[in-house]
Amino acid sequence: MSLDATLSRIDEDLPAALDRLMALLRIPSISTDPAYKADCDQAADWLVADLASFGVKAQKRPTPGHPMVMGHVDGDGPHVLFYGHYDVQPVDPLNLWDRDPFDPAIEDTAKGKVIRGRGASDDKGQLMTFVEACRAWKEIHGSFPCKITFFFEGEEESGSPSLIPFLNENAQELKADIALICDTGLFESRVPAIMTQLRGLLGEEITLTGPNKDLHSGMYGGAAMNPIRVLSKVLANLHDDQGRIQVPGFYDGVPELPPEIKAQWDGLGFDHGAFLGDVGLSHPAGEQDRSALEMIWSRPTAEINGITGGYTGDGFKTVLPSKASAKVSFRLVGQQDPHAIRENFRAWVQAQLPEDVTATFHAHGASPAGQMTTTHPAFEQARGVLGAEWGFDAAFTGCGGSIPVAGYFKSILDMDTMLVGWAKDDDQIHSPNEKYDVESFHKGIRSWARILDAIR
């Protein structure tokens, strides 16, 4: 049977595929709120039943939190693991939604038809593109294109507390030749992108303490050290005038971009002026010898996310505060060690403190970057077929955010991950009125069929 027959079946079955997605979207599987525990369980049951309906041996597997869904099918050729998550973000503030977030609907917009509802793009709609491609393949061919393990998580939106223990306990069952994840998007909402670089994330909270209580600035100002003044100086020293981060050893393990990848990125025609102009800015503020795409995809960052201290209410209070705090996050790349950077950052802060000021630190997570080894043939095979679906050649891209599961697949299962997704920039994930274009859903299913045909 030809690929064309599978693609035709996908086209014919699109209304039914949309109905199935709507049924999954109606389940309010909010993982972070205990009030929705039964709904998360229901979503897992729904997926088990749906996979079983076209011949997948599927099970709901318990964890201390929400269950995992596991499914297996045999086939010739490579063994792939497909990961997605069925849990969704909370919907607050509810008054900003134009409709009930768990009463999904297909809406006509100026840009085309969209699927409106919580989880439509992140990640139920994306997850189901792969499921529907496998369903169509089985209906046409009577078998599956290769050996496939389906792995769906129910805690991705609440920090994945059960994920690492589950991976360790089930490593033999989960190990495959390559992992596939559909939780990313198109470049500029039109060009298919295979993400090969994911930045890691390190969070630090600093609290500086000066006097043992808040002081009257008329009585103590000038004589007493103000911790806000010290904190401001420390934070100002975090970058030099060229945007380079000044923490000692920070750039250890930061690789240079391979020339062939840089050429692909340059060929994307990214308009940093428009990118920044959309948020009222005009000039890239990072390392000045790097392009804007390098700044957000392949270079590390240090950003001040919040500052508190003194009186910040209405009116004015002439207080000299006892404490001042800041939250600082670092996006990491390559082989940067988050734990070494944490130690170096704390030592760097301590070295700048004057007498009478002390520092305490609170850690907020530490995950390394993910660097995909694109030597696995599936990467070029996928890149070679996506252009036929989208009208643009696919590119190996980076991601400014973090998808920790890809790193865990490498560190725990020694398995590379290919991240391909069909979301668009305006999908409003995590926000009110989340949507997923019907085109993304339809072409996403067809794209997975093309990829499975290429790698089998």
pTM of structure: 0.85
Task: Please state the three-class secondary structure of 255-273 as a single string.
Answer: CCCCHHHHHHHHCCCCCHH
Name the 3-class secondary structure at 41: helix
- Residue 103: is its pLDDT beyond 70? yes
SS3 category, 60: strand
* pLDDT given at position 186: 96
* Helix (H) / strand (E) containing 397: strand 395-399
161-199: pLDDT as tens digits:
999 999 999 999 999 999 999 999 999 999 999 998 889
Give me the pLDDT at residue 197, please.
Answer: 87
- The pLDDT, as a whole number, for residue 372 is 84
CA distance 195 to 184: 8
List CB contacts of 329: < 8 A, sequence separation 6 or more: 201, 202, 203, 204, 302, 303, 305, 364
Q: Which value, in Å, is the radius of gyration of the alpha carbons in the chain?
A: 24
Collapsing DSSP states into helix, strand and coil, what is residue 285? coil
| Cβ 331 vs Cβ 347: under 8 Å | no
Beta strands in 289-345 (DSSP E): 301-309, 319-320, 323-332
**Cα end-to-end distance, the chain, whole Å:** 14
Determine the average pLDDT of the residues in 33-52.
98
Quickly state the pLDDT bin for 158 (edges 50, 70, 90): very high
Q: Are 36 and 163 in contact (CB under 8 A)?
A: no
Distance CA 145, CA 454 (A): 10
Per-residue pLDDT for 219 more than 90? yes
Closest CA to 422 of 148, 108, 191: 191
- What is the helix (H) or strand (E) element at residue 367, kind and residue range? strand 358-367
Provide the 10 A C-beta neighbour count for residue 32: 13
Residues whose CB is less than 8 angstroms from the CB of residue 437 and which lie 6 or more positions away in sequence, other chains included: 111, 112, 113, 114, 115, 424, 427
16 pLDDT above the threshold of 70: yes
Strands 105-109 and 112-116: antiparallel
Buried b (16+ CB within 10 A) or exposed e, 160-182: bebbeebbeeeeeebbbbbbbbb
Angle at 414 between CA 343 and CA 169, to 5 degrees: 90
Angle 14-25/37-52 helices, nearest 10 degrees? Answer: 160
Give 238-295 pLDDT, tens digit per residue: 999 999 999 999 999 999 999 999 999 998 989 989 989 988 999 999 999 999 999 9
What pLDDT shows up at residue 278?
Answer: 87
pLDDT digits (tens, 9 = 90+) for 318-377: 999 999 999 999 999 999 999 999 999 999 999 999 999 999 999 998 888 888 888 889
Q: In degrees to the nearest 10, what's the CA dihedral of 392, 394, 300, 163?
A: 130
pLDDT of 217 over the 90 cut: yes
Sheet with 301-309: list strands edge to edge: 301-309, 323-332, 200-209, 358-367
Nearest to 379, CA basis, from 197, 222, 210, 233:
197
Tens digits of residue pLDDT in 130-147: 999 999 999 999 999 999
In angstroms, the CA 23 to CA 124 distance is 11
Q: pLDDT tens digits for 378-409?
A: 999 999 999 999 999 999 999 887 788 988 99
Using the predicted structure, report yes or no on whether residue 22 has a pLDDT greater than 70: yes
SS3 405: helix
Task: With H, G, I as helix, E, B as strand and everything else as coil, classify residue 400.
Answer: coil
Residue with tokens 């990829």: 451
Q: What confidence score (pLDDT) does residue 1 get?
A: 59
Structure tokens at 134: 């496998």
Q: Which domains does the chain have, with CATH numbers?
A: 3-198+370-455 (3.40.630.10), 200-254+300-367 (3.30.70.360)
